Structure 1
Amino acid sequence: ALNRSWHLEHFVCCCCRETIEQNIFFEKSGKIYCEKDYHSVFSPKCNKCLLPIFDMCVMALDKTWHLDHFTCDLCQKMLVDEEGFHEFNNNIYCRLDGVNKIAPRCFTCQQPIMDNFLSAMNKQWHIHCFVCLDCKRPISAESVYEHDGQPYCFEHYHKRRLCRCHTCHEAIFGAFVAVGCKKFHPDHFVCSFCRVRLSLGGFKIREGKYYCVACFNRLVG
């Protein structure tokens, strides 16, 4: 063998020192190996079972696999015939499980976001899921109002905040007059008798009603 002659007992594998009695042997750099040790030393190892690969293999992510061991780490589906795969945290996934594992989740529906999305309030949404929690009308990231971690339009944000006029009980969206714990639209903070607009510091209170100084003095005599 190898253009040389051996005693039978000297024709041995350089690793295990077992006699090679059959014609199956391998030579590498002048050394002789039995089939088992040659594959153990030189053949690629399967990333899953760690055993040598003797025939066809899959090469991906700088690793090798037996064909039937290149599978999704979640559902165990073989990936050889799949149209792509995902790698995440040193695990491999089929496309479906990869999307479920890696893709960001919509804050509203909790489903994976596969395409365009909207980011606001440090969360992500499908475009069609980013709506006011109360009226369900679409809102934009620039016009959203946050309350208790939920998105609202301008109108329903103020209704949720319960910033209401003490006189008309409607939501206050802009400037207001605050008297104690009560709030008023500026046009609704008026004298209960003559209906003139009141100013802070220029009114009196009697039996829960607000009066200008002149009307108050006439009432109390």
Structure 2
Amino acid sequence: MSEAFDCAKCSESLYGRKYIQTDDGPYCVPCYDNTFANTCAECQQLIGHDSRELFYEDRHFHEGCFRCCRCQRSLADEPFTCQDSELLCNDCYCSAFSSQCSACGETVMPGSRKLEYGGQTWHEHCFLCSGCEQPLGSRSFVPDKGAHYCVPCYENKFAPRCARCSKTLTQGGVTYRDQPWHRECLVCTGCQTPLAGQQFTSREDDPYCVTCFGELFAPKCSSCKRPITGLGGGKYVSFEDRHWHHSCFSCARCSTSLVGQGFVPDGDQVLCQGCSQAGP
């Protein structure tokens, strides 16, 4: 009588049948699959011992069940991505979750270096200055009507230029004759004293401080000999080719102010009518 050779699970004879040997003894194929096989996460069927089994994140799949949840392409030998527990081939993932580069129109692949601004996305190498066409990368930039400029290009293209040195004004500055100037460029034509924030005047478009203008161009008071600039509301009196400050226009004898009064010229002097009638 032959020795018993039975399945360790169902105890049925294995003579003449296919079986699988384990450390616990031999198993017929159905019992082996029911005892040891994993369940496919996709179709929920057992993955038989003779099937190719794929494993991903604690889940088991038949080879034919391991496919993109959108296009059903097999992922057995393809790169893929898992999104919210769903398996996606790279094409479907890019179509669903990636953005298009605003410059070249190509897909910005997941994990690639990119830049985002104003709801748009660029490949890092496609985000260029509209002026010099160099990559902006992490540098500061200035948006303008759909274009993007690095700071030097923007200043060179749009920033106002100083009327004297023609260089751009990046901050501050003053306005003279409706033109922008660097504060340090607006100086007196005579003595080079800075004029920003100071009272000054001009001659033939050249700016002068009050002192230089008075010394160079202003008429001199016939009494005190100082310049009459008329700046700051200063008033003066003119008679023939002579000029006086209001405060200096007085009778040479009694010092009475002659502003708005009748007077009599007496050589280089002016006299009030009373002193003129009194004689020498």
Does TM, normalized by the shorter one, top 0.5? Answer: yes
Shift of 1:38: 1.0
Partner of residue 258, structure 2: 199
Deviates more, 1:19-28 or 1:33-42: 19-28
Equivalences for 1:123-134 in 2 at 5 Å? Answer: 125-132=181-188, 134=189
Provide the C-alpha distance between the structure 1 equivalents of 2:64 and 2:114, rounded to a whole number of angstroms: 41
Q: 2:95 aligns to what SS in structure 1?
A: helix
Distance 2:168 2:116 in 1: 26
* Distance of 1:67 and 1:118 partners within structure 2: 36
Q: CA deviation at 1:190?
A: 6.9
Residue 108 of structure 2 corresponds to 53
2:239 and 2:92 mapped to 1: Cα distance?
90
Percent identity of paired positions between Structure 1 and Structure 2: 21
Alpha-carbon shift at residue 72 of structure 1 (Å):
0.9
Q: Which amino acid letter does the alignment assign opposite residue 122 of structure 2?
A: W
Matches within 5 A, 1:72-151: 72-80=129-137, 84-89=139-144, 91-101=147-157, 105-113=161-169, 119=174, 125-132=181-188, 134-135=189-190, 137-145=192-200, 151=207
Q: 1:47 to 1:185 in 2, by over 3 A?
A: same
Aligned to 1:178: 237
Return the alpha-carbon distance in structure 1 between the equivalents of residues 74 and 169 of structure 2.
62
Q: Is the 8 A contact 2:115 2:124 kept in 1?
A: no
Alignment match, 1:68? 125
Q: Is the 8 A contact 1:204 1:210 kept in 2?
A: yes
For these two proteins, the number of residue pairs brought into alignment is 205
- Normalised to the residue count of structure 2, the TM-score between the two structures is 0.50
Q: 1:109 to 1:20 in 2, by over 3 A?
A: same
The alignment's C-alpha RMSD in Å is: 4.9
1:129-186 Cα distance to aligned partner (Å, 9 max, x none): 1202x326122434232559975311355589x7635859974047554358985235
Larger C-alpha radius of gyration, 1 or 2? 2
Change (3 A) 1:47 1:112: same
Gaps in structure 2 of 5+ consecutive residues: 1-53
Q: Could you say if the C-alpha distance between residues 124 and 72 of structure 1 is closer, same or farther in structure 2, counting changes exceeding 3 Å?
A: same
Structure 1: distance between partners of 2:136 and 2:197? 43
Instruction: Say if 2:142 and 2:149, in contact at 8 Å, map to a contact too.
Output: yes
Q: TM-score, normalised by structure 1?
A: 0.60
Taking CA–CA contacts closer than 8 Å with sequence separation of 6 or more, which of the two structures ends up with the larger relative contact order?
Answer: 1
Q: Which protein has the bigger strand share?
A: 2
Structure 2: which amino acid aligns with 1:126?
H
Which deviations, in whole Å up to 9, do the C-alpha atoms of 1:75-98 show, x marking residues without a partner?
211234xx8332344753334314
Q: How far apart, in 1, do the equivalents of 2:126 and 2:102 lie?
A: 8
Q: Residue 21 and residue 6 in structure 1: after superposition, are their counterparts in 2 closer, same or farther (change >3 A)?
A: closer
Q: 2:105 matched to 1:20?
A: no
Unaligned ranges ≥5, structure 1: none
Alpha carbons of structure 1 residues 44 and 113: separation in structure 2 relative to 1, 3 Å: same
Offset from partner CA, 1:89-132 (integer Å, 9 cap, x none): 475333431443576643432312468x6557698643531202
Q: Residue 47 and residue 180 in structure 1: after superposition, are their counterparts in 2 closer, same or farther (change >3 A)?
A: farther
